[in-house]
Amino acid sequence: MNSQRSIIIFNHAISSEATKKCYLNEVKRFKVFYNVKDFDSLISIEPKRLQVMIEDYIMQRKGKVERSSLSHSLSALDLFFSMNDVILNFKKSKKLIPKQETKQSGMRAYTVDEVSELIQSCKTFVHKVIINVMASSGVRAGFVEDLKIKHLKDMPMGCKAITVYADTVYEYTTFMTPEASAKLEQYFTWRKKKGEVLTPESFVFITEKRKCFTPLGLSTLLNRLVKNTTIVRTKTHKNRYDIMSAHGLRKFFDTTLKLNQNLNPHVVERLLSHKSKAIRLDSSYFRPRESDLFEVYQKAIPSLTIDKSSRLEFELKENKERLAKLENSKDRRILELESDMRIIKEFAKSIRKESS
């Protein structure tokens, strides 16, 4: 069926495999709804009749599915028919989608205690590490696909840099805390003990079958894990909750950094791979170096550290370093004052000699 020209040209218009799969399912659903034989038969239907079919299809599904699902269906159908030179009035069809009146789902972030509980509920070590990395770096679930060891880089303070979506137009850099970095190293050591030879080309995270995790698989996993915790999630609509199982970790990162008044918000947006809507051309002209990004990130490390004992240990270490700097500063100031005193004494001595 996928050998039909209508589907071949449709597939060629979509670069993402995940989007391709979702869009194809939406077109299939429309085809099945009207009991049409195949995809090529869809584009042979007279445009005026097709327009009515699409409008009726949307009106029939209103109230039964999410507003976002209707919008998704229309986007898929719009692309399918436009790629096959069938001109329809989708601007009109989109007017049939109801306005957002119910409370939006996924608006709340996990708290640090909830992230900790989610980690503790995991029975598999790799799952604990993934959650730790996601919470400390703010990555989307899609980061896990094709992420290799060569995309990691050791940074000061025991942190690691991650190149997300490497070698694509969406590539960006973020970081993980010393806590998450240490857990990741433990995971690598465990894999080596199991007889795996790790190289720069090895995937960072692998399933039990030694395959790379997929974004959908990871999202499904996190959804299952959060259901096994006591984390209270409020149902906003049908199967939607106020905390998204996977994206709630990204929101935790975003919220944590933005609550810190000492952090440059534009750098925070860059760490999230967001394009600034407030400043035009910001994504084109604002080009901070990796060291600039890390300078901002490191200020948030204590707040992004999940384990309480690790957080206290890090804060204690920071305080000791701060005290050491103050001691050095005090000693330096004493030496400066002693030097000033010597100069003053020498100056006074020379004046007395001149006056005598």
What is 112-304's CATH number, 4.10.91.20, 1.20.120.420, 1.10.443.10, 1.10.3720.10? 1.10.443.10
| Verdict on whether the full-model pTM lies above 0.85 | no
Distance CA 29, CA 2 (A): 15
Residue 108 pairs in a beta bridge with none
What is d(CA 191, CA 282) in angstroms, rounded to the nearest whole number? 42
Average pLDDT of the chain is 87
Query: Average pLDDT, stretch 131-140?
Result: 96
**Percentage with pLDDT > 70 across the chain:** 87
Q: What does the pLDDT look like over 279-317, one tens digit per residue?
A: 665 666 678 899 999 999 999 999 999 998 877 777 777
Amino acid code (one letter) for 345: K
pLDDT at residue 75, rounded to an integer = 95
Asked if the model's pLDDT at residue 197 lies above 60, the reply is yes
Q: State mean pLDDT over 103-114.
A: 79
Measure Cα distances from 258 to 116, 152, 176, 180, 196 in Å.
Answer: 20, 25, 17, 20, 40
pLDDT at residue 281 in the model: 56
Summarize pLDDT for 30-74 with one digit per residue, the tens.
999 999 999 999 999 999 999 999 999 999 998 888 888 899 999
> SS3 letters for 274-295?
CCCCCCCCHHHHCCCCHHHHHH
Radius of gyration of the chain (CA): 29
Question: What CATH code would you report for 5-94?
Answer: 1.10.150
Domain residues of the chain, as ranges?
5-94, 112-304, 313-356
- Please list, residue by residue across 41-78, b when 16 or more beta carbons sit within 10 angstroms of its beta carbon and e when fewer do: ebbeeeeeebbebbbebbeebeeeeebeebebbbbbbb
Q: How confident is the model at residue 104 (pLDDT cuts 50, 70, 90)?
A: low
pLDDT in tens, 116-128: 999 999 999 999 9
pLDDT in tens, 6-34: 999 999 999 888 889 999 999 999 999 99
Which amino acid belongs to residue 62?
Answer: K
Give the pLDDT score at 112.
93
C-alpha torsion sign, points 285, 289, 294, 295 = negative
Q: How far is the C-alpha of 195 from the C-alpha of 187, rounded, in Å? A: 13
| pLDDT in the model for residue 171 | 92
pLDDT at 255 over 60: yes
CA distance 316 to 50: 68
pLDDT of res. 153: 97
